[in-house]
Structure 1
Amino acid sequence: MEEIKWGIIGCGDVTEVKSGPAFNKVPHSSLVAVMRRDAAKAQDYALRHGVPKWYSNAEQLINDPEINAIYIATPPLQHEEYTLLALSKGKPVYVEKPMTLDAASAIRMKAASDQYNVKLSVAHYRREQPVFLKIKELLADNAIGDIRFVSLQMLQPPASNLIAGSEVNWRIDPAVSGGGLFHDLAPHQLDLMIYFFGKPKHAAGIAANQAGVNQADDLVTGHILFENGVVFNGMWCFTVSPADQKDCCEITGSSGKISFPVFGSKITLSKDGHTEEFIFDPLQHVQQPMIKKVTAYFLGKGANPCSAEQAILSMELMDQFTKSVKKSTGN
């Protein structure tokens, strides 16, 4: 196999700019077909983006002999079903984050990848963006000494500009998304913590639906003790006032601090009373660096940039943060 010829299942909003165009912009990669259950919308996407084929049935796209890899960009409810189907047909899968609804489903997806011996990668694409590669480099260089703890605050008003739009807001339907806005945004943040600090040793949290606007939790807290001794504390709330909006992660070490927004492009390094800033240009297609690495992996020319095993760790953290209270009360 000399080129990855992609088929997209679920060509909705996330694929318009963030990911879709990038499949034709990385080496040895091209976008051959897209699928959406609404045939007219699938055709419209294909015509606007210059994609040769479109389908309204996922199985037909997967069975297309020209397609040799599948990108699944549906809501999480369909991730497991389509991943298992594609893997059973021998076609490697790049699946959107969150990997699926919960850790048990993610474990089944990994088992299928192992069973069929077909590659599976997860779209935790911030791992390959320059801003987060720089943070990882600073940590590796002991720029702030030994890491002590991490504090994260993701505080957003209901009309936050960070929350992706869609015709039907499935992100606040736990049956479709696995939870609420926490399940949409926290996978980015928790995966970065795993990317920076490794495997968690212990984790717990509290989740609550304070505003009662929908069925999803709108406030989540969580703490993690990593195997390397680093402690993480996080707070997510999606019902604060616009004046209190915040996206801040602070990594504190024995000799300084690294601060950054997870949904931004600036790093602030504070050490010995001095401050240094690193500012990065926004990416046109935020997933392009990741898609480049996944393409190389599928071609046998590189490592998996985010394996199912790694993605399961963040799924387990979300489960532990949001389900501990429900389990303890028997709900």
Structure 2
Amino acid sequence: MENKKINWGIIGCGDVTEVKSGPAFQKVKNSCLIGVMRRQEAKVIDFAKRHGVAYWTTNATELIENKEVNAVYVATPPSSHLKYALQAIKAGKHVYLEKPMVLNTHEAEVLLSAVKKNIAKVTVAHYRRELPVFKKVKTLLDSNSIGKVASVKIVIKQKDNTSLIAKTEDNWRLNQEISGGGYFHDIAPHQIDLMCHYFGEVEIIKKGFQDVAQYSKQNVAGEMIFKNGVKFTGLWNFNASEDMDSCIIHGEKGRIVFSFYNDTISLSVCGKTEIYKYDTPEHVQQPMIDKTVHYFLSNSLNPCSVCEAAVVTQIMDVFCGIK
């Protein structure tokens, strides 16, 4: 596909595609959104008209087999990610796959095997990797700003209003068969992926505690030790008495503090604190989609591979006591 354009088709043009991702496919260089699919005809027609997309269908297979489409964005709920990704790979179409990548470790292994056996490329939408605030955290770590990192702690607490979770007409996130396991499975992939992106290969994964009786009130905790010695602890509580969104990275010279839902970083070294603030792009997935297009056109490396995302899936399964 060198020196060609990526002609996208979206499978599942729902809420996430309205602002976060959809418009970016039209704004990125050498990229064009030419087709969309959704099962409800009235809704897919409405989306196509509002976003200036000429081709629409209610059948995913028709979109995948459209000869003009050479890449597919799978933005359906997780239960159908593997099915559509495998179908697109078999058809020779590249895939940009929403998170969580698949439902569980077994499905991750199936997808990874398919990627290895075919020429189609797959990128997973862990888009926070490319947002300015999180790139700055990585720069601070790579530049040894706080010295050797010893530990990192994530605490996500949320009241019943679940303001961190995207709103949809049908709250499928609470249906384990569709989502993989509640609110944790919706937002934790981003946080865990960033930890792996920052600190590298994981050596030990341990589950903490979890309340799996009601996914709307799920509590998950876990620990990891990275091969470089960094110790991680994480807590996700979606039935808390308060809201909290915090990541603290401790090093021998200081600490880095940031959250996943605002754009401010606090760097404290030797008693001095410096604040960094960044603006969130209008379409938060645009930087990642731009990198993905470059990768699909063979102009850069994969910004997030299936192999990397499979590690995130494995960690989530262990934290939830599934594996």
The TM-score range, normalised by the shorter chain, is over 0.9
1:215 Cα deviation after fit: 4.6
Contact 2:36 2:57 in 1 (8 A): yes
Question: What aligned pairs does 1:2-151 form with structure 2 within 5 A after superposition?
Answer: 2-151=4-153
What corresponds to 1:186 in structure 2?
A: 188
User: Is 1:230 the counterpart of 2:236 in the alignment?
Assistant: no
What SS does structure 1 have at the residue aligned with 2:76? coil
**Offset from partner CA, 1:234-267 (integer Å, 9 cap, x none):** 00000112xx200000000000000000121100
1:160 Cα deviation after fit: 2.5
Give me the identity figure in percent. Answer: 47
- What amino acid is aligned across from residue 232 of structure 1 in structure 2? F
Number of positions where the alignment pairs a residue of Structure 1 with one of Structure 2: 321
What corresponds to 1:313 in structure 2?
A: 311
1:207 Cα deviation after fit: 4.1
Post-superposition, which runs of at least 4 consecutive aligned residues in structure 1 deviate over 4 A?
A: none
**Offset from partner CA, 1:61-84 (integer Å, 9 cap, x none):** 000011000000000000000000
Contact 2:217 2:237 in 1 (8 A): no
1:206 Cα deviation after fit: 3.1
In the alignment, the residues of structure 2 paired with residue 195 and residue 275 of structure 1 have an alpha-carbon distance, to the nearest angstrom, of 25
Distance 1:128 1:121, change over 3 A: same
In the alignment, the residues of structure 2 paired with residue 227 and residue 297 of structure 1 have an alpha-carbon distance, to the nearest angstrom, of 28
What SS does structure 2 have at the residue aligned with 1:31? strand
1:209 Cα deviation after fit: 2.5
What corresponds to 2:266 in structure 1?
A: 268
1:175 Cα deviation after fit: 0.5
- What amino acid is aligned across from residue 231 of structure 1 in structure 2? K
In the alignment, the residues of structure 2 paired with residue 222 and residue 216 of structure 1 have an alpha-carbon distance, to the nearest angstrom, of 19
**Offset from partner CA, 1:1-39 (integer Å, 9 cap, x none):** 310000000000011000000000110000001100111
1:154 Cα deviation after fit: 0.3
Contact 1:173 1:216 in 2 (8 A): no
**Offset from partner CA, 1:103-150 (integer Å, 9 cap, x none):** 110111111111122111100001111111111110011000000000
Provide the alpha-carbon RMSD of the alignment.
1.2
- What amino acid is aligned across from residue 265 of structure 1 in structure 2? D
Contact 2:210 2:221 in 1 (8 A): no
Contact 2:131 2:280 in 1 (8 A): no
- What amino acid is aligned across from residue 248 of structure 2 in structure 1? E
**Unmatched tracts of structure 2, length 5 or more:** none
In the alignment, the residues of structure 2 paired with residue 19 and residue 275 of structure 1 have an alpha-carbon distance, to the nearest angstrom, of 35
In the alignment, the residues of structure 1 paired with residue 208 and residue 36 of structure 2 have an alpha-carbon distance, to the nearest angstrom, of 39
Contact 1:42 1:55 in 2 (8 A): yes
Contact 1:256 1:270 in 2 (8 A): yes
1:162 Cα deviation after fit: 1.2
What corresponds to 1:281 in structure 2?
A: 279
**Unmatched tracts of structure 1, length 5 or more:** none
In the alignment, the residues of structure 1 paired with residue 301 and residue 30 of structure 2 have an alpha-carbon distance, to the nearest angstrom, of 16
In the alignment, the residues of structure 2 paired with residue 103 and residue 217 of structure 1 have an alpha-carbon distance, to the nearest angstrom, of 23
In the alignment, the residues of structure 1 paired with residue 318 and residue 280 of structure 2 have an alpha-carbon distance, to the nearest angstrom, of 33
In the alignment, the residues of structure 2 paired with residue 48 and residue 117 of structure 1 have an alpha-carbon distance, to the nearest angstrom, of 34
1:216 Cα deviation after fit: 5.9
Contact 2:28 2:286 in 1 (8 A): yes
